Structure 1
Amino acid sequence: MTKLALLLAALPAAAFAQATHFDPARLSHHVEILSSDAFEGRAPATAGETKSVGYIVSQFQAAGVQPGGDLKDGKRLWTQAVPLLRSNIVGAPTLSIASNGTVLPLTQGEQIAVRAPLTGDKHVTLKDVPIVFVGYGVTAPERKWDDFKGMDVRGKLIVVLINDPDFETGQGDFGGKAMTYYGRWTYKYEEAARRGAAGVLIVHETAPASYGWATVKNSNANGTFDIVRADPKATHTPFETWIQRDLAVKLFADSGLDFEAEKKAAQSRDFKPVALKATLSADYAVDASTIVSHNVVGRVAGAKYPNETVIYSAHWDHLGVGAPDAKGDKIYNGAVDNADGISVLLEMARAFAKGPKPQRSVVFLAVTAEERGLLGSEYYGASPLYPLGTTVGMLNTDALSTAGPARDFSISGSAKLGLLDDLIEEGKKQGRSFTPDARPEAGSFYRSDHFTLAKRGVPAISIESGEDLVNGGRAAGKADAEAYVRDKYHQPADEWTPAWNATGQVLDAELLFNLGERLANSREWPNWSADSEFRAIRDKTAAARK
């Protein structure tokens, strides 16, 4: 028996019988190439992008799909141009906090992680700017919640906690442990900009952030990107940062406050902002410029309804070359995140191109700059190549397990939609069960490319590998997932190894293929649940689907 057959023998026969479109060796080979040092971590607007785009295009061509990108002279290109603002801090920033009569110098990447500004500023200078603690930094009128209580924070720095006010207790106005968008760091920055703050200091804690300080440091050290905006200062402040918890504890203590007590107070709607007896100064130059990155797009045109589209997506980018780890490795290879998602996308394109032509069109969208804030998919959502009103759904693949086949599967987040019902039904045909996101507090729904279309109403999900492993059960699956987040996520250690077991990815890919094929050959239009925040947006385009 083959290795795949041996491993799947512990699963129902249906799972093995359906595993016909994907080869674990081919999936693994794509990852080996894309995550090799030669691709330099696949950062946008680098030689790594050129190689990544070239490889994806060559594989789409070999698969037999057609170009689905921008129109030029009446013909589709393989790519969609994505203009981005790129910003880098020049040299080491000068940073300090004055507190309790002393000045404490801060080192980038140690006590603080400063993002290069996305306001277009060429220089950032802050001199003794006052600091205010505003709890979780949330303004949610529908929940009768306002952490600012009328305080004018214009020109000030705000300190905010990560995640939602009810993360600690698991109950309250924000859905318990499941993170809402109010808990995401992107929301904290956006709200600060809306209020005219000079900047934001997000207090990092591993549990509510769902990742360690190494991830924060690495994610902010390699430059920042944003889509080109008419008014960037409406969305960003000049000074967007994270700080270590220990620094926050010291700042509070210097002001005669107990950090844990203030955090507890912030979990109530009665919380009021607290001015800290501290100021911050910063000075650094910025290299800001506009570059053009690229989404890569392949397409199989529908035989009967070519104007109706099913989208498969995955992001091709990672963090590029950055600060070395303890072993001196500077290349952030991004093997799991997300070379394996692209490998599935490439083989998905091959499967559809080689099979019977679907009734609806199927698009294979490899997006850029996910690691910089879902920017490639955000650009596609703002400038869609195919109308969103007649997009049936988006099926995203990001960071599948390398631990082997599982008896279950999941999705990022806890959204309710017909697309999930269909996925569960297809999973049952494999003999596999659905397990809800085990960590909804991590806010995974808002951290993958499906979110940018979901917020525009398109039914969208991002599949996650199951944890109930054939070899080792849930204990082994949980341990593997936790080890990846702790030791490899957004670190140079996220590298391909021949010891990987890609047979689980075969099952996940097959499940997504079956769902996409079902949608592409039906008249079904999945929708969000009646109480979903995305239902009303989708319903506004209902006339396009008649």
Structure 2
Amino acid sequence: MKNPLNIFKLIFLTIIVSCNSNKQKVDFTSENFNLEEFKTRIATLASDEFQGRFPGTIGEKKTIQYLEEQFKQIGAKPGNGNSYFQEVPLLKITSDQTTKLQLSKGAETLILNFSDDFIGGTPQPVENIEISKSNLVFVGYGINAPEFNWNDYKDIDVKGKVVLALVNDPGFRDSTLFKGKNMTYYGRWIYKYEEAARQGAAGIILVHETEAASYPWGVVQNSWSGTRFYLADNTVTKSGLKLQGWLTNEAAHRVFKIAGLDYDQQLKTASTRGFTSVDMKLSTSINFKNKVEYIRSNNVLALIPGTDLANEYIIYTGHWDHFGINSKLKGDSILNGALDNATGTAALIQLAENFSNLKVKPKRSIVFMAITCEEQGLLGSEYYAENPIFPLNKTIAVINMDALNIFGKTKDMTISGYGFSELDDYAIEILKEHNRYAAPDPSPERGGYYRSDHFSFSKVGIPSINMSFGVDNIEHGKQWSFDTMSKWISGNYHKPTDNYEPNIWKFDGMVEDIMVYFELGYKLGMTDKYPNWREGALYKAKRDEMMKQ
């Protein structure tokens, strides 16, 4: 393939953006998109010097200082008064990783080892956690969803007990249930932990299945071992939930066997309407120590002020954080997070630079928000959504960028949550102008819509769009894309091997996608229209109520 930098330098892209029946021309050339500079930004953010960009460490300090310097250098103003930072108060808990999980039935005992068999910790800010001989209850998918007429907790009291639940939701195995292969929020681990807390459980353990979770056990090991963060006073930290964890599929089979239950049969039953939770007649015990700290991490915000409608805002988001250093790993122990999400963070800087260089600035203000603790459960974006700097009813849209295209040009771009909001129409129009098309998430069973920061904004009613690279690869086709992405996820996702590899990565598709992100924000910034959620969307009622204020 030809050098993408040489190709890009030959391009003079003129973007025609409709605005109140007038045509505004925006010149997008190699002069204001320096590919080598963009590469340098990715390389810097993904370097060992930044130590995996873990919140509350020297890695965060280096990251947010770098972002502040970059935003200042390109002329973007502070996004929080005179500051580029929004502090996010966090509860930081580091649990003992030598603990064991013990399950007993009569004289028979099963001992499960940390990491190899299970991963666990606590959301409680206490130094010692002990669960002694608590009953273990299999609660199927651990879901209480009135709109789907489904309640795995019906007619059972789990207060003070430990519950065992499956990942994903029943539609994963029966397409007639819930939304079929389109995973709902009820399939996410965050929801399951919160629901167990609401039910008064003492603990919850999720059974890991690679296909249902969409990632291998190694991702759980790297994501959940060691330190975890929580927002203070949220559902789980205020509850009596002492344990939240994961169990390997192999270990789950052993647990069901000691309980005298057939795992496969219980899995089938749990995916059937009318399922009733099962008391497994096992006592569960675990105890471990915690190091508890209260820290402050930071969202980083920069602003390009608008003109006629400067008090209305388009927000670009991308999380800056990753998983830092895992000292338990042999060899390379730094999880650099190059694709996830040094690429999206570098794109925030690039877009801010492009907007800063425009001769015709958008009517609406453009905000660039690098978010903390996405990898910890969307905590930074959740905090912002609950403590907004810019009024929610003046926030027109959120455009999220999480892990950009390193596999080459595609005919399409993927929109997770396709059809949820009118923002799709803007994206479809822009892609069509470039002989490309928008496509729904090709793997909706992975629940991608609920796994990145735009979702925190969706939950409070802000129209949000999560666009990512497509699968219709121009050079190799769709099947090659599926195979290549699956291989990458299996080998690199949330692992030390997610490194910056400029000699392997293909940047031409990434550049084209960034241009689409730019045009989308510019088009929204030049209109006075308020895109909304479509009828039937879960978040429309909140937006409608908000706009009455």
TM-score by length of 1: 0.94
Counterparts of residues 7-86 of structure 1 (less than 5 Å): 21-69=32-80, 71=81, 76-86=82-92
Q: Structure 2 CA distance, aligned partners of 1:179 and 1:230?
A: 24
The yes-or-no answer on 1:347 pairing with 2:353 is: no
- Matched residues, percent identical? 37
For residues 226-276 of structure 1, the C-alpha deviation after alignment (integer angstroms, 9 at most, x for no partner) is 112177544571100010111111221222221111111111221111111
Q: Structure 2 CA distance, aligned partners of 1:230 and 1:373?
A: 12
Shift of 1:480: 2.0
Of 202, 225, 229, the match for 1:225:
229
Please give the secondary structure, in 2, of the residue aligned with 1:50.
helix
How many residues are matched?
Answer: 534
> Residues 235 and 61 from structure 1, CA distance in 2 versus in 1: closer, same or farther, beyond 3 angstroms?
farther
Shift of 1:421: 1.2
Partner in structure 2 of residue 131 of structure 1 = 136
Contact 2:78 2:303 in 1 (8 A): yes
The yes-or-no answer on 1:4 pairing with 2:4 is: yes
Shift of 1:26: 2.5
> Residues 5 and 121 from structure 1, CA distance in 2 versus in 1: closer, same or farther, beyond 3 angstroms?
closer
Partner in structure 2 of residue 237 of structure 1 = 241
Q: Structure 1 CA distance, aligned partners of 2:332 and 2:289?
A: 27
The yes-or-no answer on 1:539 pairing with 2:549 is: no
Partner in structure 2 of residue 386 of structure 1 = 390
Contact 1:404 1:503 in 2 (8 A): yes
For residues 272-328 of structure 1, the C-alpha deviation after alignment (integer angstroms, 9 at most, x for no partner) is 111113222111111112100001110011111111000001000000111454x52
Counterparts of residues 285-296 of structure 1 (less than 5 Å): 285-296=289-300
Contact 2:415 2:466 in 1 (8 A): yes
Shift of 1:104: 2.5
Contact 2:139 2:277 in 1 (8 A): yes
- What RMSD, in angstroms, separates the aligned Cα atoms of the two structures? 2.1
For residues 455-478 of structure 1, the C-alpha deviation after alignment (integer angstroms, 9 at most, x for no partner) is 111010111101112221212221
> Residues 235 and 34 from structure 1, CA distance in 2 versus in 1: closer, same or farther, beyond 3 angstroms?
farther
Shift of 1:18: 6.2
Q: Structure 2 CA distance, aligned partners of 1:4 and 1:18?
A: 16
Of 135, 150, 153, the match for 2:158:
153
Q: Structure 2 CA distance, aligned partners of 1:63 and 1:479?
A: 39
Q: Which amino acid aligns with 2:101?
A: L
> Residues 211 and 323 from structure 1, CA distance in 2 versus in 1: closer, same or farther, beyond 3 angstroms?
farther
> Residues 41 and 509 from structure 1, CA distance in 2 versus in 1: closer, same or farther, beyond 3 angstroms?
same
Contact 1:222 1:320 in 2 (8 A): no
Shift of 1:222: 3.2
Q: Structure 2 CA distance, aligned partners of 1:317 and 1:125?
A: 31
Partner in structure 2 of residue 112 of structure 1 = 118
For residues 352-397 of structure 1, the C-alpha deviation after alignment (integer angstroms, 9 at most, x for no partner) is 0110222110000001010111111111100000001110100010
Partner in structure 1 of residue 101 of structure 2 = 95
Partner in structure 2 of residue 407 of structure 1 = 411
For residues 437-469 of structure 1, the C-alpha deviation after alignment (integer angstroms, 9 at most, x for no partner) is 001111111100000001111010111101112
Of 333, 338, 342, the match for 1:335:
338
Shift of 1:100: 6.3
The yes-or-no answer on 1:312 pairing with 2:323 is: no
TM-score by length of 2: 0.93
Q: Structure 1 CA distance, aligned partners of 2:225 and 2:97?
A: 11
Q: Structure 1 CA distance, aligned partners of 2:476 and 2:353?
A: 32
Please give the secondary structure, in 2, of the residue aligned with 1:370.
coil
Q: Structure 1 CA distance, aligned partners of 2:42 and 2:198?
A: 41
Contact 2:95 2:288 in 1 (8 A): yes
> Residues 102 and 458 from structure 1, CA distance in 2 versus in 1: closer, same or farther, beyond 3 angstroms?
same
Contact 1:136 1:164 in 2 (8 A): yes
Shift of 1:2: 6.5
Partner in structure 1 of residue 280 of structure 2 = 276
Please give the secondary structure, in 1, of the residue aligned with 2:548.
helix
